[in-house]
Amino acid sequence: MIQFPKKFLWGAATAAYQVEGGNVGSDWWPWEKSAGNECSGPACRHYEMYDQDFDLAQGLGHNVHRFSIEWGRIEPEEGKFSREALNHYLAVLLALKARHIEPVVTLHHFTNPVWFAKLGGWEHPRAVRYFLRYTEFVVRALAQYVRIWITINEPTIYISHAYLFGIWPPQVKSLWRMLRVERRMVSAHLRAYRLIHKIYRQESLSGPRVSIAQHMMALVPCTPSLKNRFAASLRHKLFNERLLSIFLRHKALDFIGVNYYSRQLVDVQKWGLRNLLSDTCKAGHHPVKKNSLGWDIYPEGLSQLLLKLKKYDLPLMITENGICTSDDAERWEFISAHLKSVYGAMERGVPVMGYLYWSLLDNFEWDKGFGPRFGLIDVDYATFKRTVRQSALKFSQVAKTGALE
Ligand code: FCB
């Protein structure tokens, strides 16, 4: 039996656009329609049903909950800030507080206001200033209720999907434009980090913990050839650690948020930059189970990544880890295997503060629509009825006791 530390944070994560519903002021809203995708519509109606959802989380023993604030609601028009939207998020924070659930608040989780996108989004020369003005408005108002902030969720996924692969709005396919947006987002985090700390000092509040949620993949060489080993380590540096190391150089992370789902089997055809960066193994050797989106399930990768981050000497938090599946037994298998993997790293001295399962509820999985079921709680999208899954109950035993068989 494994015993996690007493103060360990246990909970689940969500993102505004994926659960709230009716996010008409966000760039994804018109884009979904124009792209002919399944539309987010009312999503899970979490904007109205958060009290009920937090009752369920509390009943499940969660002592932390990650959610995001929708910029397009807070600032529906450039420079016009909505008190009503702000009050909503204040009510959300009070609802968590009343249930003794610690909030982890994300400021940017993939979506932007429509007006911001129209101006050119993160390519606009004033993009960072716009983001900071929104950040200042939100953080000044909510600081006293929040200790842990995530400025930007998965910047590497956002920039690659939106500016390189062209599959998310604004559907750009350009390495140069992607790199420009990356520079803007790096600057946005650095400046938001300092701004949040400044606000806490001015308000005489004790130090916030500010980070990003970094998407990390286990990059595994398919064969031990030099090409494959070199490519795996290059990709690890570029995709997993590069942004973190920039932020650490600027002392702009108080902890490291890790989002972990899967592995990539690296199999490089020939020496060439494109091959080194993107060739994967197409053959079926090294088989592992997959989630319903076809992503490899690879729990040991989480331990390996956490151990690699040990050198930074900062607390770590698993800000997302989860599986989409129609077989709930697989979900519990996934969670328990990943928790064991986390524990393995902790035994070897990695300071992990908490584990947030993705997600509390089934939700709108971006361009994949409502098909993938990631939730601890099932959502019936016709009636919005919530049903707690068996895996949620098993996870709740761990959350309540810290013990895992
Ligand atoms: C992560 C995202 C999150 C969700 C999960 C499945 O990359 O941060 O919003 O879509 O994947």
Q: List, for residues 150-182, the tens digit of each pLDDT value.
A: 999 999 999 999 999 999 999 999 999 999 999
Q: Is the pLDDT of residue 285 over 90?
A: no
Nearest CA to 358 out of 258, 218, 264 is that of 258
* Cβ(164) – ligand 1 distance below 6 Å: no
* Cβ(215) – ligand 1 distance below 6 Å: yes
DSSP state of 37: P
Q: How far is the CA of 177 from the centre of ligand 1 (A)?
A: 23
pLDDT-based confidence at residue 2 (cuts at 50, 70, 90):
very high
Unique residue bearing structure tokens 């939100």:
138
2-400: CATH superfamily: Glycosidases (3.20.20.80)
Can you spell out the DSSP letters for 355-367?
EEEE-SB----GG
Distance (Å, whole) CA 67 – CA 89? 10
Distance (Å, whole) CA 184 – CA 19? 27
Q: How far is the CA of 201 from the centre of ligand 1 (A)?
A: 32
Phi first, then psi: give them for residue 303, nearest 5 degrees.
Answer: -55, -45
Burial zone of 284 (CB within 10 Å; 0-12 exposed, 13-18 middle, 19+ buried): exposed
Distance (Å, whole) CA 100 – CA 10? 12
Distance (Å, whole) CA 53 – CA 48? 10
From the CA atom positions of the chain, what is the Rg in Å? 20
Nearest CA to 217 out of 294, 328, 334, 296 is that of 296
pLDDT 10s digits, 309-329: 999 999 999 999 999 999 999
| Residue from 106, 110, 154 to probe ligand 1 pocket by mutation (most atoms less than 8 Å from CB) | 154
* Cβ(320) – ligand 1 distance below 6 Å: yes
Rounded mean pLDDT of 197-206? 98
pLDDT-based confidence at residue 284 (cuts at 50, 70, 90):
confident
- Annotated domain spans of the chain: 2-400
* Cβ(108) – ligand 1 distance below 6 Å: no
Q: How far is the CA of 26 from the centre of ligand 1 (A)?
A: 17
* Cβ(358) – ligand 1 distance below 6 Å: yes
| Residue from 259, 297, 364 to probe ligand 1 pocket by mutation (most atoms less than 8 Å from CB) | 259
The percent of residues in the chain predicted with pLDDT above 70, rounded, is 100
| Bridge partner residues of 257 (DSSP) | 213, 317
Distance (Å, whole) CA 325 – CA 291? 6
Strands 352-358 and 316-320: what pairing?
parallel
Q: How far is the CA of 261 from the centre of ligand 1 (A)?
A: 9
Residues sharing a CB contact under 8 Å with residue 201, sequence separation 6 or more, in sequence order = none
